[in-house]
């Protein structure tokens, strides 16, 4: 049960991290009411969470409703912002990131029963991060333009360039 709640919470946090880009866009175009509308919807789902928790529905149900609230809030912000500014969803980049996340998650799921101590947990986390990096390295989730930006920021940037798609050949 705790693993399921953790997975749902991780997905919610992932959704929330993508939201920050949209928030910056609608604040830049001076349309903060978009955030107000979306947050109002999220507050309604939070109120539903309180009712579900009081009625004994369980923490997993609450986590799922919370994740759904994040998703609805983010989609509402996206579509309301899209009315004002032309936005493109980078499906290829998001798909590569999602595939790496699913690969890492599957690895953790398959080997979760092998965790019996802190050292085995740390080992699982390190190997899972390696799985994520390997899938990302193969799928190249960053566009070429990001690779060009990475080149400007030193050693770390040069390392990150490996995760960007190569330049198109003329």
Tens digit of each residue's pLDDT (9 = 90 or more) over 65-122: 878 888 888 888 888 888 888 877 778 887 888 888 888 888 988 988 888 888 888 8
Q: Which two tokens stand for residue 72?
A: 């609805």
**Domain residue spans of the chain:** 2-84, 91-163
d(CA 73, CA 60): 20
- Residue 118's pLDDT is 85
- Residue 135's pLDDT is 92
- Residue 141's pLDDT is 84
pTM of the model: 0.61
- Residue 100's pLDDT is 87
Q: pLDDT of 5-56, one tens digit each?
A: 767 777 777 677 777 778 888 888 888 898 898 889 889 888 887 787 777 7
Residue 59 pLDDT greater than 90, yes or no: no
Using 50, 70 and 90 to split pLDDT, how confident is the model at 138? very high
Residues 6+ apart with CB under 8 A from 60: 1, 4, 5, 8
d(CA 115, CA 69): 32
């Amino acid at each position: 049960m705790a693993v399921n709640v953790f997975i749902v919470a991780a997905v919610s946090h992932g959704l929330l991290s993508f939201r920050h880009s949209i928030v910056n866009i609608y604040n830049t175009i001076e349309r903060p009411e978009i955030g107000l509308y979306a947050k109002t919807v999220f507050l309604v789902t939070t109120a539903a969470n309180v009712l579900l928790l009081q009625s004994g529905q369980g923490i997993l149900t609450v986590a799922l409703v919370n994740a759904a609230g994040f998703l609805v809030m983010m989609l509402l912000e996206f579509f309301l912002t899209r009315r004002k500014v032309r936005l493109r969803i980078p499906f290829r980049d998001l798909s590569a990131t999602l595939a790496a996340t699913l690969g890492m998650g599957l690895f953790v799921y398959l080997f979760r029963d092998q965790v019996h101590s802190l050292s085995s947990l740390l080992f699982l986390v390190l190997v899972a991060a390696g799985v994520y990096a390997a899938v990302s390295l193969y799928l190249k989730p960053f566009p070429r333009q990001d690779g060009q930006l990475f080149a400007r920021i030193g050693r770390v940037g040069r390392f990150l360039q490996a995760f960007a798609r190569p330049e198109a050949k003329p």
